Copies of this chain bind each other. A is one copy, B any other.
Amino acid sequence: MSQKLLRLLPCLEWGREYHRGFFASDLLAALIVTIMLIPQSLAYALLAGLPAEMGLYASILPLIAYALLGTSRTLSVGPVAVASLMTATAVGSIAQPGTIDYATAAVAMAMISGLMLLVMGALRFGFLANFLSHPVVSGFITASGIIIALSQLRHILGIQAHGDTLLELLTSLSRDLAAFNSVTLATGAAAMAFLFWARSGLKPLLQRLGMSASSAGMLAKAGPVVVILATTAASYLGDFGARGVALVGEVPSGLPAFSTPSFDLQLWSDLFVAALLVSVIGFVESVSVGKTLAAKRRQRIDPNQELLALGAANVASAVSHGFPVTGGFSRSVVNFDAGAQTPAASILAAGGIALAALLLTPVLFYLPKATLAATIIVAVTSLLDIQVIQRAWNYSRSDFIAVITTITATLLLGVELGVLAGIVASISLHLYKTTRPHIAVVGAVAGTEHFRNVRRHNVITHTNLVSLRIDESLYFANVSYLEDYIYQLIAEIDGLEHVILQCTAVNEIDLSALEALEVIDHRLREQGLTLNLSEVKGPVMDALQKTEFLQHLSGKVFLTHHQAVTSLKRDDIEPYII
């Protein structure tokens, strides 16, 4: 079998080595994931503003598509919180929730996003994900989690609040607060309380009841299902519908019908940017989960193949009337912990969801929406990473600015502008830093051939020369800073004959920088000085040798800085103080 085919269809590889031992593990993992995915898929459909059955539909074919194409053995693909919120925001701006247009737009968004991911994968654009820095992603997911939790409060309270940003949500919630429904609130609050408790208290309880640690751990994941069953029963018995509690209502029974998503050009152009953002965010989230899990078992994730697999999953979601999907963090971890060996676990889980869609939907009629909102709120609290602000603050000012910009923009302007602001801020900050490179005047550490910053170490310097270590590649954005630095420095030092640039940290000299070095060299020569370079790296030297710069240079290029200083110095001074 050709290597190329194996790379395009990773399922051929694990399929060949599949055996009965794998199947037992995969089946158990699939069972647990299914139990977890049923409430999640319903809840994320609610979050996306869509009918409950679309959550189930988005959890069948996409899982199979990813299982066939994905490089992660344990990633669980399906509806996730952030992508559902982004879908709600984008689709909500062009259609009214509850309408056919709204559902059509959500399906179209999955289609656009899927095609974009496929195209990016074909172009091998996986590296683009690198531009979403980790603090930005953490900040974005944290802020999105806050927005999600607030947006679900209305279902817990049984009121009509809405909004895409912190201010809109808070204003809307406080205005409608008085109209809360007490039965809804009681249901939601009880569900939340149980779920929060179940996270830490259910496993020990089950163990005390005699269950093994691993079985107890797995059964504890069924908390949301327990809550759903309990509140559905209460709702049925207590006739919650008549008491003003919003119920999920009629959910059509059966498997999704294949359908062609809308190809309305206007709709596609309206959703283009949002689909791009949900694709990129979903991809980054998914790959980072996949990498974390793969590392634990010494497996590898191929980002470009992941683009194809997630693209196929979204197209599969769209043609089966689902909405945008991606790899989810919590489900994947559960799948991994439950012992899933291969993506066959996901195929089995898809079968479980299909069974649920066929058989369980009549039960869902009485399910209070407040229960689903409670599962969402409890789920997103695990996404909140407020500490990232503290870590960034302690570590560096620019990381802090990037995180704060992302969080503030996401909370105040919404998810789309939030993630864009984060990307722009982190790239701009990085570029800004490189425009003002760290330049150190260096001197020799006594008795060695090593040179260190004169401000940090007691080093030997010389009256007739100055050694500069430039801690950055030289390129168009920072050459004028270097020019100004050198001109100012030589104006301050009397008796100077030589300037030596130690190029250990200069990884590139682009054409603008080369031209600037020519200007600097020319100007130094006019003033009776020479410009010398030392420790120029191989790739940089290769480029310089293609030009006439080295022939015209007033000074020389030395292999080591020590050689440069030894051959140019007239005396030694120790210590050197600026």
Task: Tell me whether A225 is interfacial, beta carbon within 8 Å.
Answer: no
Q: Which residue of B lies closest to A449 (CB)?
A: B449
Taking the closest CB of chain B, its distance from the CB of A396, in whole angstroms, is: 6
In-complex Cβ contact of A478 among B130, B391, B519, B537 (8 A): B130
**Chain B residues, Cβ within 8 Å of A506:** 505
A438 in contact with B395 given A133-B476, A456-B538, A476-B134 (CB within 8 Å) = no
**Chain B residues, Cβ within 8 Å of A434:** 473
Task: Tell me whether A427 is interfacial, beta carbon within 8 Å.
Answer: yes
In-complex Cβ contact of A511 among B395, B537, B546 (8 A): B395
**Chain B residues, Cβ within 8 Å of A449:** 448-450
Taking the closest CB of chain B, its distance from the CB of A446, in whole angstroms, is: 14
**Which residues of A541-571 are within 8 A (CB) of B?**
543, 546-547, 560
Are B426 and A543 within 8 A (Cβ)?
no
Taking the closest CB of chain B, its distance from the CB of A224, in whole angstroms, is: 31
Are A475 and B430 within 8 A (Cβ)?
yes
A interface size (C-beta, 8 A): 67
Are A135 and B511 within 8 A (Cβ)?
yes
Are A511 and B396 within 8 A (Cβ)?
yes
**Chain B residues, Cβ within 8 Å of A516:** 134
Are A512 and B127 within 8 A (Cβ)?
no
Task: Tell me whether A435 is interfacial, beta carbon within 8 Å.
Answer: yes
**Which residues of A143-166 are within 8 A (CB) of B?**
none
Task: Tell me whether A477 is interfacial, beta carbon within 8 Å.
Answer: yes
**Top 4 A-B pairs, shortest CB-CB distance:** A133-B476, A134-B512, A399-B511, A471-B507
19 new A-B contacts, CB < 8 A, other than A127-B432, A456-B538, A505-B537, are: A127-B481, A131-B476, A133-B475, A133-B510, A133-B512, A134-B476, A295-B519, A303-B480, A396-B511, A398-B510, A430-B475, A430-B476, A430-B477, A430-B510, A433-B508, A440-B538, A449-B449, A472-B507, A505-B506
CB-defined A-B contacts under 8 Å, sample of 20: A130-B478, A131-B476, A134-B511, A135-B476, A395-B514, A396-B511, A426-B476, A430-B475, A430-B510, A433-B508, A434-B473, A438-B537, A438-B539, A440-B538, A449-B450, A450-B560, A456-B538, A472-B507, A504-B505, A505-B505
Chain A interface (Cβ within 8 Å of chain B)? 127, 129-136, 295, 300, 303, 391-392, 394-396, 398-399, 426-427, 430-438, 440, 448-450, 453, 456, 471-473, 475-481, 487, 504-508, 510-512, 514-516, 519, 523, 537-539, 543, 546-547, 560
